[in-house]
Homo-oligomer: A and B are copies of this chain.
Amino acid sequence: MSRETEKITMLHGAGGTVMHDLVKNYVVKYFGGIGNAEVPLEAMDDAAVVGDVVLKSDSHAVKPIFFPGGDIGRIAISGTVNDISCLGAQPYALACGLVLEEGLPISDLERILVSMRQTCIEADVGIVTGDTKVVERGSLGGCIMNVSGIGRRTPALDSNLQVVRKYRSLPTRWLLDSNLVAGDKIILLGTIADHGLAVLSAQQGLTFGSHILSDVKPLNRMIQRFLGEVGGTVAIKDPTRGGVADALNEWAEKSRVGILIQEDRVPIRQDVQTACEMLGLDPLEVGNEGKVLIGVVPEMAEQALAFLKQTPEGKDAQIIGEATAQFKGVAMQTLVGGKRIIARPVGDPVPRIC
């Protein structure tokens, strides 16, 4: 049987030769050799041995598994890497649990594995262990997966917190959702809703005039440089499912502050804005990848923004607002004047977004 027409069967996950061949010829081939572990993927043992600290697990069920600008594998690696980065830590090892649907073309699997490898190289982090299961043909769209990972604190994080403590106390050594206080500035790394619209277009077969691409990418290296070279950051959050509206409400609630943002400062591409209007979507509620919200002490906000704007990931960054003691929850100063309450969305308007 030629490799292009071979498909995943139940045997591929059944613990015998067929699965072992699949793991050896595909998973190890593409995942192996990145990163450093005492008992690495190549050992194909029961678990991997790594060093230290922050643990994160994220399952991914984006549908379709390929969409403009990315695929499920790129999201899965980036998602876990970025979540670990949001605490200020550096991810240093990942584990991947693949769940493949019977009937998934091996060539599709290979394409995803190649993409994951590439994303790992970008993030400078390796997949050190994993697991593969196969389920009957159903509604998953080919595959879903989980990527977990561990991260460690870095000198850059310590240096960043030293700067914070020049201006105020902070009762933690990590960047947490609960760290904001009134006056903290909120920076958005770039344009919103690109990812959600890209996935929606693939789901619905829509064309939006211009081509909207997902911006999914690992941000850990940029975040570590940012923390080490600027300082003063108290919180970072990636506004994925539920978008910026959900993420800001999470911050406001956990930090017990209000958050006021300025509509005219929220970066959004014109074609994304237009598409959202046509579809009746609030771009603040649409999920993002490759973007983070950053909470920074006011004294360091301009310096932080200037640094970010010089990075490829942050060229469209803006200070979109600040934490306040004037009210609770999240509000937006609108373009037409007046304030609009930004409630926590009931759900992301785009299903199966990541």
Question: A residues touching B (Cβ–Cβ < 8 Å)?
Answer: 10-11, 13-20, 38-39, 43-61, 63, 83-84, 86-87, 89, 93, 95-99, 128-133, 135-140, 144, 146, 148, 150-151, 174, 176-178, 237-238, 240-243, 246, 254, 287, 344-348, 351-352
Contact = CB atoms under 8 A, between A and B. Distances in A.
Given A144-B135, A351-B10, A46 B56 contact: yes
A136 B138 CA distance: 9
Contacts of A49: 53-55, 87, 89, 174
Contact of A47 (B59, B60, B87, B98): B87
Q: Is the interface of A mostly helix, strand, loop or mixed?
A: mixed
A92 to B, nearest CB: 10
A56 B344 contact: no
A60 B150 CA distance: 21
B242 A58 contact: no
17 contacts: A10-B351, A14-B348, A17-B346, A45-B87, A45-B177, A46-B56, A46-B177, A47-B151, A55-B95, A57-B148, A59-B98, A59-B133, A61-B99, A61-B133, A95-B148, A135-B144, A139-B139
Nearest to A102: B139
A63 B13 CA distance: 14
Report which residue of A38, A50, A56, A89 has the largest number of chain B beta carbons within 10 angstroms of its beta carbon: A56
Nearest to A87: B47
Contacts of A10: 347, 351
A246 B48 contact: no
Contact of A16 (B43, B55, B242): B242
A78 to B, nearest CB: 13
A338 to B, nearest CB: 25
B46 A238 contact: yes
A133 B14 CA distance: 25
Nearest to A354: B133
A14 B241 contact: yes
Contacts of A144: 99, 133, 135
Contact of A15 (B45, B56, B63, B242): B242
Contacts of A97: 57-59, 97, 146, 148
Given A47-B55, A55-B47, A347 B16 contact: yes
Contact of A53 (B43, B45, B51): B51
Contacts of A18: 346-347
